[in-house]
Chain A
């Protein structure tokens, strides 16, 4: 719940001040990216500090839509990222719940095993992963990517969900079950809604994992019709000659769906945990 004590004027000013300072820190480099995208002629560096370059032009953006299949890339990325998001939420919400509420053999070791998947440097996993996915006929298809991305997003999201469930008192389920509800019912109808903030984070994280991933997609996808945004954007590079304008324009546009998604989901980042009744 929001800390709803009334802040003094001093408190309010202080809060706004710090938030502003960090916001400027956060946004300044991004404004520079925007200014590169508006700069004519593909230049990365310039001695001027000004953010709107002279002769600013929308050329790069126009080129992105008319001469490159930007929309197709965006569609592909959206498709994959949304699926990964749903898969991620479904699997993490349930797995996290199991880890939080149940006792079963292999519980502790599975929890540890899950995060060990993150400990190995990715670059060494690429070749064997590639071999596995080829053997499963998942090369150059979305299924392979979705599986790989889900596997990447799951460790954090499962732990995150479990951690959040741990803050919800078990007494709630007990009360429900005394009233005759089944375990599944108490999970879906009672606990899950209370875990909304964590679900939001899981959804966002899973989406981001798929949305901005490059390495695995570059190795797995060959058919240009399947290309995701990061792959498409990187094509603007030519060793030692980067189409910076196009690339920056692409980067700006790529960020927009994430921000939109975040704004959409963040309303559920505030939850109501009404604990009037049950105290442990």
Chain B
């Protein structure tokens, strides 16, 4: 090569080398040893309060940096698994209890029974169900609230009191439904909710006396209760016509926020949004099923903190104190008063001042007739097994009886294949 060519190539090579070196120096990963990372699924409004509390706690540990990060539920599960399997990940995850199954099966969270004293653990409620989550003999989650229950939310400006039974619901509902612009489709509905999602139909299955699994976690989907529940919902849309014929989560929300529907069935995560939007809401139990005299049983679950299996000994000590702090009675009561959450500590739950709020009482009364959500990994597969056939009822593909059969078959298949 000619001399100037040599120079060009040499200059080029050094430039490239320098470039990469500088970027390496610039962007090299920082040391993580003095950061305590918490992942949460809490919605923004509640998260702010949680952040405040963490900041207060952080003052005691000036050498550490506490960081709260939000992830959407699905994402939290997937990303936590990936990170933890690779040896990294946050120190604490806060989320619903159904993550415990996959997390413990995959070995990404740490058992906690040796970390906390039994006196501490005993101060958590056991009625209506245990707040802390044990699975396969180990403690995996310390709860800071219980609930997650689907509840009947009604717009007090559109309907003065909530119906107590299904027949009442239908009667009142049919009066509310109106076609204001005369185009043949109603513009005001009585009730709307994400009924095409199996999770949102669960309460009715319990209301008809059945459940999705038995005590040994075998699916029990091909049952009368399931068929009747699905038929009932189908009738609400097609026979009594008090709910829209096609409705998903966002549609139901939009209708309720716009005042186009009087009632919605949704969980605590959504109530603050309704209140903030100025809807005058009331809460009530999902109406009783007349045929059986039973209250529908939404799934209830605790929400709380689990610890990454990769956590170091030093951080574990701090995390222990943090969890104790975040589940203290005063803190739980504060959350409860602001966000209608239900405390997980006995003392907090016994505080009479909480019961002065009618919304709290209504929320608690719904939890009382709820049924605890299983934490097994298979639960997700049950949803998946239910979804196709269940949605097929509303598209006219299956009759409710056939759908129940299909759900059961698919559930058994998935459990068989994936275990």
- Chain A contacts to B: CB under 8 angstroms: 41-47, 83, 126-127, 130-131, 134, 137-144, 146, 182-184, 218-219, 222-224, 234-241, 243
A138–B88 Cα gap in the complex (Å)? 13
A146–B43 Cα gap in the complex (Å)? 31
CB of A43 within 8 A of CB of B257, answer: yes
18 A-B pairs besides A140-B30, A140-B32, A184-B5 with CB distance below 8 A are A41-B257, A41-B278, A44-B250, A47-B258, A127-B86, A134-B87, A138-B27, A141-B28, A141-B30, A142-B23, A144-B27, A146-B27, A182-B2, A222-B32, A234-B72, A238-B44, A240-B269, A241-B269
25 A-B pairs with CB atoms under 8 Å apart are A42-B277, A45-B250, A45-B253, A45-B254, A47-B258, A130-B88, A134-B86, A134-B88, A137-B28, A138-B27, A138-B28, A140-B29, A140-B30, A142-B27, A143-B27, A146-B23, A182-B1, A182-B5, A219-B83, A222-B37, A235-B44, A236-B44, A239-B73, A240-B249, A241-B269
CB of B251 within 8 A of CB of A45, answer: yes
CB of A239 within 8 A of CB of B72, answer: yes
The reply on B57 being an interface residue by CB < 8 A is no
Hey, which chain B residues are within 8 Å of A183, CB to CB? Answer: 5
CB of A139 within 8 A of CB of B82, answer: no
CB of B30 within 8 A of CB of A127, answer: no
A146–B72 Cα gap in the complex (Å)? 25
CB of B69 within 8 A of CB of A222, answer: yes
CB of A44 within 8 A of CB of B254, answer: yes
Query: In chain B, what residue has the closest Cβ to A227?
Result: B69
Hey, which chain B residues are within 8 Å of A235, CB to CB? Answer: 44, 70
Query: In chain B, what residue has the closest Cβ to A123?
Result: B78
Hey, which chain A residues are within 8 Å of B29, CB to CB? Answer: 137-141, 144
The reply on B41 being an interface residue by CB < 8 A is yes
Hey, which chain A residues are within 8 Å of B1, CB to CB? Answer: 182
Query: In chain A, what residue has the closest Cβ to B251?
Result: A45
Hey, which chain A residues are within 8 Å of B23, CB to CB? Answer: 83, 142-143, 146
**Residue-wise interface mask of B (1-37) relative to A, using a CB-CB cutoff of 8 A (1 in contact, 0 not):** 1101100110000000000000110111110100101
**Residue-wise interface mask of B (84-114) relative to A, using a CB-CB cutoff of 8 A (1 in contact, 0 not):** 0111101000000000000000000000000
Task: Identify A46's interface contact among B86, B87, B254, CB under 8 A.
Answer: B254
- Known A140-B32, A143-B27, A184-B9; judge A241-B67 contact (CB<8 A): no
Closest CB in chain A relative to B66 CB, distance in Å: 12
Query: In chain B, what residue has the closest Cβ to A221?
Result: B69
CB of B273 within 8 A of CB of A127, answer: no
Closest CB in chain A relative to B44 CB, distance in Å: 6
A182–B277 Cα gap in the complex (Å)? 70
CB of B269 within 8 A of CB of A238, answer: yes
**Residue-wise interface mask of B (213-256) relative to A, using a CB-CB cutoff of 8 A (1 in contact, 0 not):** 00000000000000000000000000000000000011101100
Closest CB in chain A relative to B233 CB, distance in Å: 19
Hey, which chain B residues are within 8 Å of A240, CB to CB? Answer: 249, 267, 269-270
A141–B44 Cα gap in the complex (Å)? 26
CB of A130 within 8 A of CB of B86, answer: yes
A235–B51 Cα gap in the complex (Å)? 14
A137–B90 Cα gap in the complex (Å)? 17
Query: In chain B, what residue has the closest Cβ to A237?
Result: B72
Closest CB in chain B relative to A113 CB, distance in Å: 22
The reply on B42 being an interface residue by CB < 8 A is yes
The reply on B75 being an interface residue by CB < 8 A is yes
The reply on B79 being an interface residue by CB < 8 A is yes
Query: In chain A, what residue has the closest Cβ to B250?
Result: A44
A45–B5 Cα gap in the complex (Å)? 63
Query: In chain A, what residue has the closest Cβ to B47?
Result: A238
